[in-house]
Structure 1
Amino acid sequence: MPAKREELLSLAQQPEDRLLISQLWDKMSQAEKYFQPACTPFLDLRQQNLCRTAMERMGNRGFFLYGGYPQAERRLALFLPDYMETPDDIPLEDNPICALRARPRGGVELNHRDYLGSLMGLGIRREMVGDILVSPQSADILLTAEMGEYVRHNLEKAGHASIVMEPAALENLLIPPLQFKTLRDTVPSLRLDAVLTVAFSLSRGEAAECIRRGLVQVDGADALKGDKPVPEGARISLRGKGKAILAQIGGLSKKGRIQIEVHKLI
């Protein structure tokens, strides 16, 4: 039996979680009532995990986490009416996400912070901005559809460079390859503190201290327990040290330790 709204609100760990859960319920009802796609703004990884948990209790009725392209990190919670099966069924003019390509003049290379800072300078809230895909000579910026024209006509500078904005098709995004260093090792268990030692070259004590200080996140959520198991595919971030992905969990070594492969993002 699907959960009721009050039951879903019990999942909230932070005040803003209650708002997100209420928004999920409203968007789901909106899609069912008006037979049109309905969605939230863009969500971070922690918010997406909360949405997954809530919608598992609701039965996942027409629910998708959609970021404009398959590998997207920032995604919005999307609800489709019964006659649509996937986000690909949404007509182009109704797509909740649009993309713009920013080209710096003079061949200047800019970074993610340059572009995001300029968007924030226009008064755009972070939740209206999806992934920013930075290439050497351009950046593809994903936005909620209603922000597209405003940004296109008002974003004229990023970092220290003037830029030219033009529309970009979601199917033609310039997606930079993920750059990482592959680390292979064995651990006694899949506890977070054990995986951290491999991902960031820490001692077990240093890993435990980082967790205690609240410096670690797993899939966007604060990780405060060193004994929590890390699932395959989890994204781990350590403040000041970077990000890593537990890419593969293998079999046991001859000494009974678990073989793992970690991708440390560069």
Structure 2
Amino acid sequence: MSDIYQHFRKDEEPFIDQALEWKRIVAEQYRLKLTDFLDPREQVILTSVIGQSDEVKLDFFGGVPEAERKRAVLYPEYAEPSAEDYQLQAYEVLYPEKFASIEHRKLLGSLMGIGLKRQKFGDLIFAGGTWQFICSEEVADFVFSQLTHIGRVKVSLEKIPLLKLKVPEQDVEIRDDTVSSLRLDTICSAVSRQSRQKAHVLVKNGLVKVNWKVIEDPSYSLAEGDMLSVRGFGRFKLKNIDGKTKKGKWRLSFEKQK
């Protein structure tokens, strides 16, 4: 099983260890294991760790099928998880829309400001002029009582069933490209359509995030499922790495979120 580490980055080893421990618990104790919300890259890693196991099965759910961040349920082969097993609570944010506006970063910042980690929250959804978000059921009451302001805007929360979540229209552009390496500056150059030298500067100046973390190392290697955010150029998901061309370049496909 230790061979699995060679397929992933050094900084991902703690998550792999956690995933292996979840798998062991389910296999030995014959019970469901529910995780916090996982980002797309963590979902890829967990899927790889579980693999084609006959003992332990795996499913993801984030409130709506299109969710980016999802909780995972690991379960014995004889079990079948239901929507209730994911323990999700959805909220709609109520505020004077005619006199104030709320941005994604301010909503996220306010949620972090009440003292909970990002893994307790799923997607933040803006659709039809309304903000909604999903959180873990175990922190739902705390969030309800503590989130009273987003920036300077006074807000209140309304519990809503998952069925009332508004799914925003998926406005993405699929791009295919070839790159000389999987280095962060090389892929930033491809997605931003500028020179590698300029992309290198963006990375060094802290303007690039991988999986919501600022990465300032231009040589950092990207992997399938990574979310890439480049200040001024948008967000991209590295959807597929399709091997190499005859000239030794990597074939990639990625989604640009408009």
| TM-score, scaled to structure 1 | 0.69
| Pick aligned residue for 2:94 from 93, 100, 103 | 103
DSSP 3-state at the match of 1:62: strand
Give the letter aligned to residue 241 of structure 1: F
Partner of 2:123: 131
Partner of 1:254: none
Distance 1:158 1:217 in 2: 24
Q: CA deviation at 1:119?
A: 1.6
Q: CA deviation at 1:260?
A: 8.5
Q: CA deviation at 1:174?
A: 1.0
Partner of 2:166: 174
Partner of 1:253: none
Cα contact 2:61–2:86 (8 A) shared by 1? no
Q: CA deviation at 1:143?
A: 0.9
Distance 2:68 2:93 in 1: 20
Tell me the alpha carbon deviations over residues 77-104 of structure 1, each in whole angstroms, 9 at most, x when there is no partner.
321233334xxx4253x43322111121
Q: CA deviation at 1:115?
A: 1.6
Partner of 1:202: 194
Distance 1:189 1:179 in 2: 25
Identical-pair percentage: 24
DSSP 3-state at the match of 2:91: strand
5 Å matches for 1:114-129?
114-129=106-121
Partner of 2:16: 21
Cα contact 1:219–1:235 (8 A) shared by 2? yes
Range with bigger deviation, 68-77 or 31-40 = 31-40
Q: CA deviation at 1:12?
A: 6.6
Give the letter aligned to residue 35 of structure 2: T
Give the letter aligned to residue 158 of structure 1: I
DSSP 3-state at the match of 1:51: helix
Gaps of 5+ in 1: 250-256
Q: CA deviation at 1:73?
A: 1.9
Gaps of 5+ in 2: 242-248
Partner of 1:143: 135
DSSP 3-state at the match of 1:26: helix
Distance 1:84 1:98, change over 3 A: farther
| Pick aligned residue for 1:63 from 46, 58, 61 | 58
Distance 1:164 1:54, change over 3 A: same
Tell me the alpha carbon deviations over residues 106-146 of structure 1, each in whole angstroms, 9 at most, x when there is no partner.
54321112222222222112121111112354322111110
Distance 1:158 1:91, change over 3 A: same
Partner of 2:44: 49
Distance 1:53 1:218, change over 3 A: farther
DSSP 3-state at the match of 1:69: coil
Give the letter aligned to residue 13 of structure 1: K
Partner of 1:238: 230
User: Number of residue pairs matched?
Assistant: 246
Distance 2:126 2:88 in 1: 18
Partner of 1:165: 157
Cα contact 1:190–1:229 (8 A) shared by 2? no
| TM-score, scaled to structure 2 | 0.71
Tell me the alpha carbon deviations over residues 19-53 of structure 1, each in whole angstroms, 9 at most, x when there is no partner.
x3343233334444555431222223443333233
Tell me the alpha carbon deviations over residues 48-90 of structure 1, each in whole angstroms, 9 at most, x when there is no partner.
33323322386682123432322222223321233334xxx42
Distance 1:42 1:236, change over 3 A: same
